[in-house]
Amino acid sequence: MAKKLKNPTPVRLPSGSWRCQVMVQGRRISVVDDDPEVAHAKALAIKNGILQEHKSPASMTVGEMIDRYIESKDSVLSPATIAGYKRIRKNALQDLMPVVLAALTQERVQRSINAMAREKSPKSVRNAHGLLSAALEMYYPDFALRTTLPQKKRYEAAVPSTDDIQAIMAACVGTENELPVMLAVWLGLRMSEILGLRWIDVDGDVLHIRHALVDEGEKTTKTYSSQRDLPLPAHIRELIDARPKRGDHIVELSRRALYCRFQTICKRAGVQHYRFHDLRHINASVMLALGVPNRYAQERMGHATDNMLKTVYQHTMSAEQAKVSHQVDSYFDALLHTILHTETGKSE
Query: 54-66: per-residue pLDDT in tens?
Result: 556 767 899 999 9
User: Residue 174: left (phi > 0), alpha (psi -120 to 50), or beta?
Assistant: left
pLDDT value at residue 171: 94
Name the least confident of 25-39, 75-89, 240-254. Answer: 25-39
What is the dihedral sign for C-alpha 160, 165, 169, 172? negative
Higher pLDDT, 192 or 310: 192
Who has greater pLDDT, 117 or 288?
Answer: 117
- Tell me the CATH number for domain 162-347: 1.10.443.10
Task: Please determine, for residue 172, whether its predicted confidence score (pLDDT) is greater than 70.
Answer: yes
From the list 60, 12, 65, the residue with the least C-alpha distance to 39 is: 12
**Which one has a higher pLDDT value, 222 or 130?**
130
Average pLDDT over the chain reads 83
Instruction: Name 230's bridge partners.
Output: 207
Mean pLDDT of 229-248: 93
Mapping DSSP to helix (H, G, I), strand (E, B) and coil, where does residue 306 land? Answer: coil
Burial class (CB in 10 A: 0-12, 13-18, 19+), 152: exposed
Phi, psi of 174 (to 5 degrees): 85, 0
What is the pLDDT, as a whole number, of residue 132? 97
How far, in Å, CA of 118 to CA of 105, rounded? 21
The answer to whether the beta carbons of residues 251 and 212 sit under 8 Å apart is no
What is the pLDDT at residue 156?
60
Spell out the domain ranges in the chain: 15-54, 57-151, 162-347
Q: Which residues of 203-216 are buried (b: 16+ CB within 10 A; e: fewer)?
A: eeeebebbbbbbee
Residue 282 contacts residue 253 (beta carbons within 8 Å): no
| Mean pLDDT score, 154-177 | 83
pLDDT score for 146:
93
Predicted pLDDT of residue 31? 77
Tell me the range of 170-174, 314-318, 330-334, 335-339 where mean pLDDT is highest: 170-174
**Domain 57-151 is found in CATH 1.10.150.130:** yes
**DSSP 3-state helix, strand, coil percentages of the chain (rounded to 5)?**
55, 10, 35
In the prediction, which pLDDT does 294 show? 74
Higher pLDDT, 200 or 213: 200
pLDDT greater than 60 at residue 20: yes
Q: Which residue has the higher pLDDT, 280 or 250?
A: 250
Say which residues have a Cβ less than 8 Å from residue 64's Cβ, sequence separation at least 6: 55
pLDDT of residue 202: 94
Best mean pLDDT range from 37-46, 48-57, 136-145, 199-208: 199-208
Q: What is the pLDDT of residue 62?
A: 94
Q: Which residues contact 25 (CB under 8 A, 6 or more apart)?
A: none
- As a whole-number percent, the residues of the chain with pLDDT over 70 amount to 84
pLDDT of 215 > 80? The answer is no
The answer, yes or no, to whether residue 154 has pLDDT greater than 70, is no
Mean pLDDT lowest for which of 180-194, 210-224, 270-284? 210-224
β strands within the chain, DSSP E: 11-12, 18-24, 27-33, 202-203, 206-209, 211-214, 217-220, 228-231
Report for 44-48, 185-189, 308-312: range of highest mean pLDDT:
185-189
Contact between 208 and 201 (Cβ < 8 Å): yes
Each residue of 80-111: pLDDT tens digit?
A: 788 889 999 999 999 999 999 989 999 999 99
The answer to whether the beta carbons of residues 315 and 291 sit under 8 Å apart is no
Q: Would the pLDDT of 342 be above 90?
A: no
More confident residue, 59 or 232: 232
Can you tell me the distance from the alpha carbon of 276 to that of 302, in angstroms, rounded to the nearest whole number? Answer: 17
If phi > 0 it is left, if psi is from -120 to 50 it is alpha, else beta; for residue 287 that is: alpha
pLDDT at 19: 84
Question: Residue 71: its pLDDT value, please?
Answer: 86
Q: What is the pLDDT of residue 283?
A: 82
User: Is the pLDDT assigned to residue 22 strictly greater than 70?
Assistant: yes
